[in-house]
Amino acid sequence: MTIHFSNTFLLRKLHQITGIVPLGVFFFVHMFTNSKAMNGDASFNKAVKEIHDIPYLLLIEIFGIFLPLLFHSIYGVIISSESKPNALSYGYGRNWFYVFQRATGIFLFVFILFHILNLRFGLIPGLNSIPVAGNADQAFAIVSREFQITWVLVLYILGILATAWHLAYGFFLFAVDWGIVIGEKAQKVTLTASIGLALLLSVVGINAAFAFVRPCGLMPKALCEEPKKSATSGGVKF
C-alpha cells in the first residue's frame, strides 16, 4: 500500500491553516505597508523602521513567517506532485482553478526565495547589495532602484498576481474544506467573493509596486500626500 503524504489529515489541516494565519494575514499587512510608498520615501521608510522596532522581531519572523512559510511551501510542493490535474480533459472553471492554485504555489516558492534574498538580504548577484533589514532609512531608495529594472518590476508584478490568486482561492478552498460554506449557492457566492478579493489585492499590490517608480503609483495624485523627502534620500550607495 502506498502512503500519500497529502492524505495525512493533520498535516493537511496544518497546511491549510498556515496559509490563512499567519501567511495570509502577513500578506495583507505587507501590502498595506508597501502602499505607504504612495506618500513618498519618508512615509515608507518610517513604516519599515516601525516594523524593525517591534520587540522580539527576529523570533516573530522565524516562528510567524519563515517556519510557516517553509512548511506551507514544502508541503504544498508535495501535494502538487501527488495531484492529478484534469483541466485538459474536462475544462471546467474549478478544474482550471485547481491547476492555477498549484502552479502559482510552485512559482511563489521560487519567487519568495528570490524576493527575500533580493530585498531583505541584498544577496542576489548583480542586483542591489544593501539589505533593507538594518537599513530602514534607505528602504525606499533600495526598492525604487530595483524597480527601475524592467524585468525585476515585471517579476514582482507576477509575484503579486500569483500571491493574490493563491491566497484568495485558498480562502475559498479553506471555507469549503472546513465545512464553513456547504450549499452549492453559498459556494458560488464565496467563489465570486474570492475572485473579487484576488482582484482587489492585485490592484493594491501592483499600485504599491508602481509607487516606488512614480509618485502615488497608478492612482490619481489627489489620493496621496505631497511626498516629503527623507533626510537620507538620494544618498544610497549600491
For cell 491553516, the residue is 17
**Three state DSSP letters for the chain:** CCCCHHHCHHHHHHHHHHHHHHHHHHHHHHHHHHHHHHHCHHHHHHHHHHHHCCCCHHHHHHHHHHHHHHHHHHHHHHHHHHCCCCHHHHCCHHHHHHHHHHHHHHHHHHHHHHHHHHHHCCCCCCCCCCCCCCCHHHHHHHHHHHHCCHHHHHHHHHHHHHHHHHHHHHHHHHHHHCCCCCCHHHHHHHHHHHHHHHHHHHHHHHHHHHCCCCCCCCCCHHHCCCCCCCCCCCCCCC
First vs last C-alpha separation in the chain: 56
Least Å distance, CB 96 to ligand HEM, is: 22
The residue (of 98 and 147) whose beta carbon lies closer to ligand HEM is 147
Considering the rule CB under 6 A, would residue 168 count as an interface residue with ligand HEM?
Answer: no
The residue (of 13 and 120) whose beta carbon lies closer to ligand HEM is 120
Least Å distance, CB 161 to ligand HEM, is: 9
The residue (of 140 and 181) whose beta carbon lies closer to ligand HEM is 140
The residue (of 119 and 198) whose beta carbon lies closer to ligand HEM is 119
180 close to 173: Cβ distance less than 8 angstroms: no
Size of the site for ligand HEM (CB under 6 A): 24
Considering the rule CB under 6 A, would residue 161 count as an interface residue with ligand HEM?
Answer: no
Considering the rule CB under 6 A, would residue 158 count as an interface residue with ligand HEM?
Answer: no
The residue (of 51 and 219) whose beta carbon lies closer to ligand HEM is 51
Considering the rule CB under 6 A, would residue 175 count as an interface residue with ligand HEM?
Answer: no
Considering the rule CB under 6 A, would residue 24 count as an interface residue with ligand HEM?
Answer: no
Considering the rule CB under 6 A, would residue 18 count as an interface residue with ligand HEM?
Answer: no
Site track for ligand HEM across 77-116, x = CB under 6 A: -----------------------------------x--xx
Choose the binding region for ligand HEM from 153-161, 172-180, 193-201, 225-233 (rule: CB under 6 A): 153-161
Q: Which residues in this chain contact ligand HEM in the complex, by CB under 6 A?
A: 27, 30, 34, 48, 51, 61, 65, 69, 112, 115-116, 119-120, 132-133, 139, 143, 156, 159-160, 163, 205, 208-209
